[in-house]
Structure 1
Amino acid sequence: MNSVIIVLGAPNDDQGNLSEIAQSRCQEALRIHKTQPQSKLLMTGGFGAFNQTDMPHAYYSQRYLMSQGVPADTFTNIALSRFTFEDATLAKPIVEQHDFSQITLITSEFHMPRAKLIFSALFTNYQLSYYAATSPVSPQKMRQLQAHELAVMDRERANISNYFA
């Protein structure tokens, strides 16, 4: 089966160092890739509020995974996305180009409900599986992240409706 692991982007600092959340997503990708070594890796993340450097966030994620032993030829083109909905819309042509039929999506546990909502709506003809990375944040920070995710769900439902309009 032609499969891809899509790793959603997260913040990095102004030197390109991945945040702990981004590292946890990469570590989950590494763990899953070891069980699916035939799978390609599609990294998302371009520029914007979460990345103010000269290189796309996905570049730093790829570099991190290559430092952990993942060969460079494992990666597809990157999706230069700024936010979750763009992760899906910009990953879709890459998935189609490679004729992938199975998608494994990796994001953080607090982000998974939104990511599932979007990807399950936009990738209806694909076999999808989801893996949540554990975020190394305080309980207070986790509550803030979860509250943000809950607050934007209606916007994402509207984005999905507009996408198919």
Structure 2
Amino acid sequence: MVPINLLVELGIVSVVLMATRVAGLGRKLAATTLILLALAAFSPLGNLLLYPLESRFPAWDPSRGAPDGIIVLGGSVDTDLSAAHHTPVVSHAADRLLAPAELARRYPNARIVFTGGSANLIAPGAREADYSAPILENTGIPRERLILERESRNTYENAIFTKPLVAPKPGERWLLVTSAYHMPRSIGIFRKAGFDVEAYPVDWRMGGRDDLFSFTNFGADGLGRTDTAVREWIGLVSYRLMGRTSELLPGPAKD
């Protein structure tokens, strides 16, 4: 469940309770919900939660040499809308689809993998890889260079399905392209799956430490950043408890 949606639902429950014999409980729940909503919307809470995620991995260092492969995680294309309109619809995190174009041009011998199926119920047969491939081709990546993984429904399956598909050899260097806030969990999952990858973060939501205590407008950055950050922290905790990562907050590999 999306955190902000949960607050809205709690607000509705509080209104219902105020019309019953437990009206006092309803008023307390309403006050608590309003405070949490105000914190999410108007305070730096979202920034404080996002910063440790986005700053965990530095920008990739190209001085170490060319990569053997580039893995692009899905999450940009809305498969339901794409299926409905018969054309790719990019809903967010477009940088995940733009970065591979530059990498492909810079490293012509690198294999390029896009991993993403569909977790949607409306159009379960629509695969994100199928709609993302034309976008990647339009950015200049030849179709024959693309390896598509179409079955994964989440980041865990991105890792376990991609590894046997590309069969990485010892000593090969693979880049992982995903949103900066999503990178710690993604790296942790790939490591646990036995697939060593190097972080290539994109799609930043903050400029850096200077943004930590900046206040934002209701309905815009405040709620959006808090919602994104809370969902990602929940994902980190859940995946650690399920044994899909070895650390709560994975970081750069130690030399």
TM normalised by structure 1 equals 0.82
CA contact (8 A) 2:205 2:225 kept: no
Gaps of 5+ in 2: 1-65, 83-87, 207-219, 246-255
Q: How far did residue 55 of structure 1 move?
A: 3.0
Q: How far did residue 50 of structure 1 move?
A: 8.8
Moved more, 50-59 or 145-154: 50-59
Judged with a 3 Å threshold, the aligned counterparts in structure 2 of structure 1 residues 50 and 108 are, in CA distance, closer, same or farther, namely: farther
| In 2: Cα distance, 1:28 partner to 1:50 partner | 29
After superposition, residues 1-165 of structure 1 pair within 5 angstroms as 3-10=68-75, 11-12=77-78, 13-15=80-82, 16-21=88-93, 23-49=94-120, 52=123, 54-96=125-167, 99=169, 101-124=172-195, 126=196, 128-135=197-204, 139-140=221-222, 141-157=224-240, 158-160=242-244
Q: Supply the AA of the counterpart residue of 1:73.
A: E
CA contact (8 A) 1:5 1:39 kept: yes
| In 2: Cα distance, 1:35 partner to 1:6 partner | 15
CA contact (8 A) 1:20 1:135 kept: no
| In 2: Cα distance, 1:25 partner to 1:114 partner | 16
What do residues 97-130 of structure 1 show as CA deviations (whole Å, max 9, x unaligned)? x658221100011211110111122235x4x211
Judged with a 3 Å threshold, the aligned counterparts in structure 2 of structure 1 residues 121 and 106 are, in CA distance, closer, same or farther, namely: same
Judged with a 3 Å threshold, the aligned counterparts in structure 2 of structure 1 residues 131 and 78 are, in CA distance, closer, same or farther, namely: same
Structure number having the greater strand percentage: 1
Moved more, 143-152 or 53-62: 53-62
SS at match of 2:192: helix
Judged with a 3 Å threshold, the aligned counterparts in structure 2 of structure 1 residues 50 and 20 are, in CA distance, closer, same or farther, namely: farther
Q: How far did residue 135 of structure 1 move?
A: 4.9
* Superposition RMSD in Å: 2.7
Q: Supply the AA of the counterpart residue of 2:221.
A: P
Gaps of 5+ in 1: none
What do residues 64-101 of structure 1 show as CA deviations (whole Å, max 9, x unaligned)? 010111101101242421001000011111121x6582
What do residues 15-51 of structure 1 show as CA deviations (whole Å, max 9, x unaligned)? 2312231x21011122222222211111111122398
TM normalised by structure 2 equals 0.55
| In 2: Cα distance, 1:148 partner to 1:47 partner | 19
